[in-house]
């Protein structure tokens, strides 16, 4: 039964990812182009909720981009689209967690192919490699997602991205790594292998939990003005 549930959940994620990818290709978001990568990733690991979030919040960003262009062309200063604060934080969290998730996904085959372990435990090796890659992808996503001034140096932009993303990334990985540790040491007598649907379903759940643990951190960062509302 768990295998069936895993296949269904992964299948929904893949279909959502394909649908959103096609949609952002047809209707790319100009104001924050990095979101054209973010939303398909959210679709992959957030069955049902991911597609609802994209339809309700992602497509609205496209329309707000057009409003921004029209506002600028008419000589009026652009004002961010009014939306509830929790929704702005939700979109900021999708942005942060997608970079983390991409790093976590990319890190797994590296560890499996190299057989890298820490203390003889491959899971710990996965955590280290995934954290490093998630941090790099997270900073890159944050850098390209921030409103950069034309005269801002690359160094200053990276520093601002690190300030904006570090706490949220750590919060995400606490949720994700905590879940995968339970999967490895508690929930299963024999942990599922990365080649099985069950393993990737557990990864989906881990990313969803990471999103949840990252949300309060993003709330704080946006509230304090370290990250901008999206």
Q: Is 46 a member of any domain?
A: no
Residue 146 lies in a domain: yes
Within-domain flag for 64: no
Mean pLDDT within 143-170: 78
Q: Cα–Cα distances in Å, from 154 out to 59, 137, 143?
A: 30, 16, 9
22 has pLDDT over 60: yes
DSSP state of 58: I
Question: What is the pTM for the complete model shown?
Answer: 0.83
Q: Which of 61, 96, 102 is nearest to 170 (CA)?
A: 96
Q: Domain range spanning residue 215? A: 84-223
Whether 7 has a pLDDT exceeding 50, the answer reads yes
- For residue 63, name the pLDDT band (cuts at 50, 70, 90): very low
Q: What is the pLDDT of residue 157?
A: 80
Q: How far does Cα 158 stand from its chain's mean position? A: 18
Decide if 217 is inside a domain: yes
In a domain, 29, yes or no: no
User: Which range has the worst mean pLDDT, 8-22, 126-140, 154-168?
Assistant: 154-168
Please report which confidence band the pLDDT of residue 188 belongs to, taking 50, 70 and 90 as the band edges: very high
Q: Quick check: 175 and 203 in contact, CB under 8 A?
A: no
Residue pLDDT, tens place only, 153-165: 778 888 888 888 8
- CB of 207 within 8 A of CB of 101? yes
Query: How many domains is the chain partitioned into structurally?
Result: 1
What is the rounded average pLDDT of the residues 125-143?
90
100: which residues sit within 8 A by CB, 6+ positions away?
A: 134, 137, 138, 169, 172, 173, 176, 207, 210, 214
What is the pLDDT at residue 175? 95
Q: Tell me the average pLDDT of the chain.
A: 85
For residue 24, tell me if it sits in a domain.
no
Q: List Cα–Cα distances, 174 to 89, 114, 159, 170, in angstroms.
A: 19, 25, 23, 6
For residue range 89-118, what is the model confidence (pLDDT) as tens digits? 998 899 889 888 998 899 999 998 999 999
Tokens coding 153: 């140096």
Interval 67-83: pLDDT, tens: 444 444 444 344 445 67
193 domain residue, yes or no: yes
pLDDT, position 158: 86
State the helix-helix crossing angle for 35-45 and 122-145, rounded to 10 degrees.
Answer: 140
Residue 135: pLDDT band (50, 70, 90) is: very high
Judge whether 130 lies within some domain: yes
According to DSSP H, which parts of the chain are helical? 2-26, 35-45, 49-53, 59-73, 85-114, 122-145, 154-182, 197-223
């Amino acid at each position: 039964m768990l295998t069936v549930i895993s296949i269904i959940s992964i299948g929904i994620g893949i279909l959502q990812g394909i649908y959103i990818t096609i949609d952002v290709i047809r209707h790319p978001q100009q104001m924050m182009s990095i979101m054209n990568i973010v939303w398909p990733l959210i679709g992959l690991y957030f069955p049902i909720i991911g597609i609802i979030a994209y339809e309700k919040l992602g497509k609205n960003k496209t329309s707000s981009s057009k409003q921004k262009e029209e506002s600028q062309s008419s000589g009026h200063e652009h004002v961010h689209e009014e939306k509830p604060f929790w929704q702005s934080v939700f979109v900021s969290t999708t942005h942060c967690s997608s970079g983390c998730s991409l790093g976590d996904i990319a890190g797994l085959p590296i560890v499996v192919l190299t057989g890298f372990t820490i203390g003889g435990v491959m899971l710990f090796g996965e955590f280290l490699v995934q954290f490093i890659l998630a941090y790099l992808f997270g900073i890159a996503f944050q850098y390209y997602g921030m409103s950069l001034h034309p005269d801002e140096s690359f160094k200053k932009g990276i520093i601002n991205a690190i300030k904006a993303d570090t706490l949220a990334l750590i919060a995400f990985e606490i949720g994700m790594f905590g879940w995968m540790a339970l999967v490895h040491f508690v929930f299963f007598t024999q942990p599922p292998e990365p080649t099985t649907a069950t393993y990737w379903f557990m990864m989906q759940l881990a990313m969803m939990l990471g999103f949840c643990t990252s949300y309060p951190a993003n709330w704080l960062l946006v509230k304090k003005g370290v990250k901008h509302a999206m």
